């Protein structure tokens, strides 16, 4: 006896309900993934393709507010949408064309949701867990470098320049040997002198000084004659790879200034307004910088060419800032809230350098890339002392300073005395 249409409909109806239910879950999952990806992209934590959802260079104050509002509203929608779809399925259960279309769309969304979840899992869980396991036993041994170009052998004597408040000074510049001996004062002033950086040839030091009204000035100093010269308004300056220019911060943006002509070009994306700690690569092609987008600092690498540059996210996390290129450009150092790390410019390898208690900040590379000097303090506000650690030998860090508070070391070579 042939089956009735009601029996056939009932037999087809049961599995379609199961698939329709999966489809409603998939819709909510897809919306949730989009929201989470958007939030991650705005913080620079997601894979690069997710920046299409919230481009960081469009993150003005207004768009940040809109993005935050969407991130709060869409999760509620992700919970509400499956219920609405489920209720609609009840009304449409006999319309097989609509029901099957829903199933087909839901199946596609389910596949996309699984792929997105896997990518987010790798970003948020697996990779950080692998990095944590690699450094769980202390400072990770630096891998053997492949054969390549060694650090340039420049003539001169290795020195570390730094800022100190010792002997009742506000903050002055000092210089010492890499073992902590021969500490000499480079400046003596009523102003604050901070953030010194050597030029590539060691003949000049750029630093930040406070001027009239408390404004910050980019300065140059001859470490031999001790002569000082004002360059422009700004702070956190460092030399370009050829020593002919400075990258520095002014008004929350990063600029590149040619020292001969005085011409300035914007380096950071035009819409960014919370940039800091610029560091130019030795080859003069790129600048690493920190920028605060929505929450936490992220480190980006941009071309030195100008304002049309597209940023590449290198690393992100709470307190992440102060990137510094190694002398060969094969590594970058950076700091978190408590420790110093080193990472490849493409993000392929990352290693923890410091493991001590307290806070370790403001790392600088030795000219041969075999060691680092950094600041250690009991808390984020110091007082600070400078330490040296080997990147090749399993040795305890060596303390270099003891008097006063000492900060912002920079390790370089200065011309040998005649």
Q: Where are the domains of the chain?
A: 5-135, 157-414
Residue 140 has pLDDT above 50, yes or no: no
Q: Of 192 and 170, which is predicted with more confidence?
A: 192
CA–CA distance, 154 with 327 (Å, rounded to integer)? 11
Phi-psi region at 75: left, alpha or beta (left = phi > 0; alpha = psi -120 to 50): alpha
Element housing 129 (H / E)? helix 127-135
CB of 314 closer than 8 Å to CB of 292 = no
Backbone angles phi, psi at 405, to 5 degrees: -110, 135
* Distance from chain centroid for Cα 95: 53
Helix, strand, coil percentages in the chain from 3-state DSSP, rounded to 5: 30, 30, 40
Residue whose C-alpha is closest to residue 207's, from 192, 189, 185: 192
Mean pLDDT score of the chain? 75
Backbone angles phi, psi at 216, to 5 degrees: -90, 140
CB of 43 closer than 8 Å to CB of 316 = yes
Dihedral (CA of 165, 254, 42, 347) sign? negative
CA–CA distance, 202 with 157 (Å, rounded to integer)? 9
Residue 276 has pLDDT above 70, yes or no: yes
Residue whose C-alpha is closest to residue 153's, from 197, 224, 201, 223: 201
Residue 178 has pLDDT above 50, yes or no: yes
- Report residue 380 as tokens: 């984020």
- pTM recorded for the entire structure: 0.66
For the stretch 119-134, pLDDT in tens is: 554 544 444 444 434 4
Q: Of 63 and 404, which is predicted with more confidence?
A: 404
Q: What average pLDDT does the segment 366-383 reach?
A: 92
CB of 321 closer than 8 Å to CB of 299 = yes
pLDDT of 334 reads 95
Q: Of 171 and 308, which is predicted with more confidence?
A: 171
pLDDT of 356 reads 79
Residue 222 has pLDDT above 60, yes or no: yes
Q: How far apart are the first and last CA of the chain?
A: 113
Q: Of 3 and 396, which is predicted with more confidence?
A: 396
pLDDT of 125 reads 41
- 3-7, 172-176, 325-329, range with the lowest pLDDT: 3-7
pLDDT of 395 reads 86
Per-residue pLDDT band at 105 (split at 50, 70, 90)? low
Q: What angle do CA 218, 250, 223 make, to 5 degrees?
A: 15
- Report residue 44 as tokens: 């620079």
Residue 155 has pLDDT above 60, yes or no: yes
For the stretch 284-306, pLDDT in tens is: 899 999 987 655 678 999 998 76
CB of 414 closer than 8 Å to CB of 367 = no
Neighbours of 76 (CB within 10 A): 9
Q: What is the DSSP letter of 3?
A: P
For the stretch 391-414, pLDDT in tens is: 988 888 999 999 999 999 999 998
pLDDT of 100 reads 55
CATH code for the structural domain at 157-414: 2.120.10.30
Q: What average pLDDT does the segment 316-329 reach?
A: 90
pLDDT of 169 reads 77
């Amino acid at each position: 006896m042939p089956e009735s249409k009601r029996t056939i409909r009932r037999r087809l109806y049961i599995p379609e309900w199961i698939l329709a239910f999966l489809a409603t879950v998939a819709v909510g999952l897809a919306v949730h993934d989009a929201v989470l990806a958007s939030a991650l992209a705005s913080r620079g934590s997601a894979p690069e393709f997710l920046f299409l959802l919230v481009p960081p260079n469009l993150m003005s104050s207004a768009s940040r507010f809109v993005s935050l509002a969407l991130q709060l509203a869409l999760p509620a929608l992700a919970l509400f949408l499956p219920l609405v779809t489920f209720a609609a399925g009840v009304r449409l259960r006999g319309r097989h064309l609509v029901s099957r279309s829903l199933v087909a769309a839901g199946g596609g969304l389910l596949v996309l949701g699984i792929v997105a979840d896997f990518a987010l899992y790798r970003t948020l869980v697996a990779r950080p867990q692998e990095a944590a396991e690699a450094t769980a036993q202390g400072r990770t041994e630096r891998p053997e470098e492949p054969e390549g170009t060694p650090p340039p052998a420049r003539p001169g004597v290795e020195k570390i320049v730094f800022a100190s408040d010792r002997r009742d000074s506000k903050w002055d510049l000092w210089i010492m040997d890499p073992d902590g001996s021969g500490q000499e004062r480079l400046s003596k002033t009523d102003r604050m002198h901070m953030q010194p950086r050597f030029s590539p040839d060691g003949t000049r030091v750029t630093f930040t000084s406070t001027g009239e009204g408390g404004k910050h000035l980019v300065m140059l100093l001859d470490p031999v004659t001790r002569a000082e010269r004002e360059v422009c308004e700004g702070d956190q300056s460092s030399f370009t790879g050829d020593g002919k220019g400075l990258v520095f911060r002014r008004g929350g943006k990063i600029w590149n200034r040619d020292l001969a002509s005085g011409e300035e070009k914007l380096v950071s994306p035009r819409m960014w307004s919370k940039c800091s700690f610029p560091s130019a690569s030795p080859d003069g092609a790129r600048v690493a910088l920190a920028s605060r987008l929505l929450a936490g600092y992220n480190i980006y690498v941009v071309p030195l060419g100008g304002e049309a540059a597209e940023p590449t996210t290198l690393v992100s996390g709470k307190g992440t800032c102060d990137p510094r290129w190694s002398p060969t450009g094969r590594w970058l150092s950076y700091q978190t809230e408590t420790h110093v790390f080193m990472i490849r410019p493409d993000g392929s390898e990352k290693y923890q350098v410091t493991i001590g208690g307290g806070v370790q900040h403001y790392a600088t590379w030795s000219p041969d890339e075999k060691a680092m000097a950094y600041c250690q303090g009991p808390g984020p506000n110091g007082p600070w002392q400078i330490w040296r650690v080997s990147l090749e030998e399993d040795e305890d860090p060596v303390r270099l300073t003891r008097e006063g508070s000492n900060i912002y070391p920079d390790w370089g070579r200065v011309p040998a005395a005649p």
